[in-house]
Structures are given as C-alpha cells and as structure tokens.
Structure 1
Amino acid sequence: MPLITIIGAGPGLGLEIARAFGRRGFDVALVARTQSKLDSLAQTLAGEGITAHGFAADISRPDTVTAALRSITDTLGPIDVLEFSPADPSLTPVDVLEVTMENLQPQIDFYLGGALAAVGTVLPDMIAAGKGTVLITTGGGSISPMPFLGNVNIAAAGLRNWALNLHNALQPKGVYVAHLGITALIGGGHPDAEPEVIAEALAQLHDERQQAELHYVAYNG
C-alpha cells in the first residue's frame, strides 16, 4: 500500500485528508503533538477500513519531527506523499502595521522551520526513488495578504515561495510538489468550505500532478 504522512493531523481537515487518500488505497501516518488524540483519529479511520497510525511530534521542535518521520519509514515503509498543514493557535497574529521581528520570528520558526525539517527529511528518499509527492497547505493570505494576519502572512508567503521553487526544481526528478492556499473559514457553513470538499481538492492535485498551486477560495456569508 502507498503511504501518506499528514503533518499537523487533527479532527478537521487532517482527518478528511486521511479519508480522501484512504479511499485511494493509501495507508496513513498521522503526526501531531498529542499521542492520545492521534490514536483516537487512527481508531476512527480503522473503523472505516483505513489503516492508520499516530506518531507524536512537536512542529516547534524540528528534532521530534525528524525522529517521527524516521520512525514512520522504519515502521511502515517509504513515505509516498507528505502533506504539511500544521497550525499553532498559541502563535498570536498581529496587524500588518504592528509586525516586528519579535512577533514575526515565531511564525517563521514554526511554519518555515517545521517545513524545512519535515520536507528535508523525506526529500532525499523521494529523489533517490524518482517519485513522491509533497503537498504544502497554508492559509490564503500567503497568496492574497490579509492585514489582520500581518506576521502570519509573511511566514506563509515564504513557505509558499519555497514550495513553488521546489516544484520547479524537482519536477524533472519525478517528485511532485504543490502548494494549496485556502481562503475559507473551514467548516464555517459554505458548502465548498467543508473540510471533506477541500481535502478532495488537495487529493486531486496529487492525482493530476500538474499544478504547482491551487488557491482554494470559498467565501462564507
């Protein structure tokens, strides 16, 4: 079975990404901070016929991410798809007029630092195999900035830039990288903003392996 690893797995979008790929015949590795919550998600997926395992790691501690990914490959085999979509609600967003290095650096460390650790761990094996997929998910402010998310948008835009750069560099090597920017209140009431709909759009990026980027827009209200 092919294997997808979801970094930042939770009961919303992460669970639906697992389901979307599980329907496509993937086994699932779930990565987030709390093992008990991961075990609960894995049990839910198992009840739906999807093989899933949880591996605890803290995105703000890159060494734990690297260790979790190595444990996944040792236990379950090569990672065919890596999906990166963590969030940390404890990191406070600030208005664009209030951005300082002090409130920007934690955002950069979390999003860019976390992605560099996670993607950097799996890419060598993907390149050596001449295949693999990396899907990087951010808020839509990485593409169309929102003033009230001034510091978050800078970090997300940097992550988006890196993803697009990787897409161009790795396409000739058989490795597909794509960025999904979500401008939507996920689960906020708009039918196109439901997590299962967005997860399916992400899975279709992998299926088609063409687009470097999808800006997914579903305005509520």
Structure 2
Amino acid sequence: MSAPVYVVLGAGPGLGLAVARRFAQEGYVAVLATRTKADAEPLAAALQEEGHAAQGVGVDLTDAADVSAVVTAVGERNGRIDVLHFNPSAWREKDPLHLTVPELLEDVALGAGALLPAVQAARPYLASGARVLVTGSAAADKPSPAAASLGVQKAAVRNLVSSLDATLAPDGIRAVAVQINGVLGRDGAFSPPPIADAMWAAVSRPDDAWTPHVPYDG
C-alpha cells in the first residue's frame, strides 16, 4: 500500500507547516497548498530536508473550480487522500458598522465556503478511516468587533463540520474542527508544535470516541 496522504489547504510557515510536519512524522506524504506554487515549494522543501515526503501546490481558494481541480489532481497523483486539512481564514479589519455585505460574503466564501468544493473533490479519494480536519478559532464564540467577518467565518465553518461529519460518518469518514481557544504565538502552549500535536490527537481518535468539535485550551 502507498503511504497515507495529508493535504493542507491554506498552508503557511507557521501552523500549517507545523501540522504538516506532525503528520509527516507519522509517515504521511504532506501536500501543502498555498496561494501559488512558488509559495508552497519552500514549505515542502523544508520538510524534504528533514527527510519527509512532501509536495507543494498552488490553489486559489476564492475560486471553487480551482479548488476542485487542485484537490482532484492531488488525489489522482497520490491515489488517495487520508486527511484533508482546511486551514484558511480571511482577516479584514472592519467592524460591523463598516463591513459591507459583499465583503462579508467574500470572507465567508474563503474561510468556510471553500471547504465544500475541497471535500467534494476529495471524496472519491477518501476511504473509510479518512478524516477532514478544520482549524477552528475562539472567534466563533468570542468575535472581535474590530474584525467582524472572522467570527462569522469560524462559526460558519464549525457548523459546516457538523454537517460534514454526519454525512460522511456512515462511510467511516469523520470530520472535526479543532477550536484554538487562544492567541497563536511563537512559544508556549499556543505555539504551532503543541497545537499540531492536538490536531494529530483529534484525528487519531477511534470512531467510538469521536466528536466533531475538539477544543484546544492550551
């Protein structure tokens, strides 16, 4: 059998890379998707230099057709997708009195809506035991009024995870949102490595212990 495959959409040099590294350490091929392939290749190279199998791809998460095409290509190239990790969010510094409806919808389309074409494209490559992982945030419950759209994105994607989990569960595929209840930092409990450990633990649970939402409180 080929090695399991982990795909992260919205990868970056912080949390996205750390979670990819955590899965790579467990023997997964790590596929890191960023806005452009040029941005993704150094992240993949960092893992390759550590002896891990890694690939870098570009994807426009605001374009559902591109999301579908890129995820499908990853599935075709590797023959499987075992963990699909949805990591993006849009930060817009606008309070509710200045945020427009088009801006809100644009942000929600990126931070929540893009999960739909990603999972739909991945579905043919998700076998029983596969997982959909979503990076959640305390903003879902305690939104900052200074960036009002972020809380809406995180509440929406958490809700969507519940629906995905219920829909996929009969086929042995589960979905989970790990809600990070703190501010990301370089050191300490809210730095990328311990959060990556928590995400690995969340997807490693057996079905009889499954919940679609896991809080990470440090």
TM (norm. structure 1) is 0.88
Equivalence map 1:70-219=2 (5 Å): 70-89=72-91, 92-126=92-126, 129-189=127-187, 191-209=188-206, 210-218=210-218
Name stretches of at least 5 consecutive residues in structure 2 with no aligned partner: none
Alpha carbons 2:75, 2:122 under 8 Å: kept: no
Alpha carbons 2:89, 2:153 under 8 Å: kept: no
Write the letter of the residue equivalent to 1:87.
S
2:68 aligns to what? 66
1:89-116, Cα deviation, whole Å (9 max, x unpaired): 4xx2322444441331111221222111
Alpha carbons 2:75, 2:125 under 8 Å: kept: no
Offset at residue 41 of structure 1 (A):
1.0
Give the Cα–Cα distance (whole angstroms) in 2 for the partners of residues 123 and 79 of structure 1. 9
Deviating runs (4+, > 4 A) in structure 1? none
Name stretches of at least 5 consecutive residues in structure 1 with no aligned partner: none
Bigger shift: residues 58-67 or 143-152: 143-152
CA root-mean-square deviation: 1.8
Alpha carbons 1:93, 1:152 under 8 Å: kept: no
Alpha carbons 1:58, 1:64 under 8 Å: kept: yes
Q: Number of residue pairs matched?
A: 213
Offset at residue 148 of structure 1 (A):
2.7
Write the letter of the residue equivalent to 2:163.
N
1:176-206, Cα deviation, whole Å (9 max, x unpaired): 10011223221254x1011011011011101
Alpha carbons 2:86, 2:134 under 8 Å: kept: yes
Give the Cα–Cα distance (whole angstroms) in 2 for the partners of residues 201 and 30 of structure 1. 19
1:159-182, Cα deviation, whole Å (9 max, x unpaired): 110101222332232001001122
Are 1:51 and 2:53 an aligned pair?
yes
Give the Cα–Cα distance (whole angstroms) in 1 for the partners of residues 90 and 5 of structure 2. 25
Alpha carbons 1:97, 1:150 under 8 Å: kept: no
TM (norm. structure 2) is 0.90
Give the Cα–Cα distance (whole angstroms) in 1 for the partners of residues 196 and 61 of structure 2. 21
Write the letter of the residue equivalent to 2:8.
I
Cα 1:40/1:156, change in 2 over 3 Å: same
Give the Cα–Cα distance (whole angstroms) in 1 for the partners of residues 75 and 203 of structure 2. 20
2:43 aligns to what? 41
Alpha carbons 2:94, 2:148 under 8 Å: kept: yes
Alpha carbons 2:7, 2:83 under 8 Å: kept: yes
Alpha carbons 2:89, 2:150 under 8 Å: kept: no
State, as a whole percentage, how many aligned pairs show the same letter: 29
Alpha carbons 1:94, 1:149 under 8 Å: kept: yes
Offset at residue 86 of structure 1 (A):
1.4
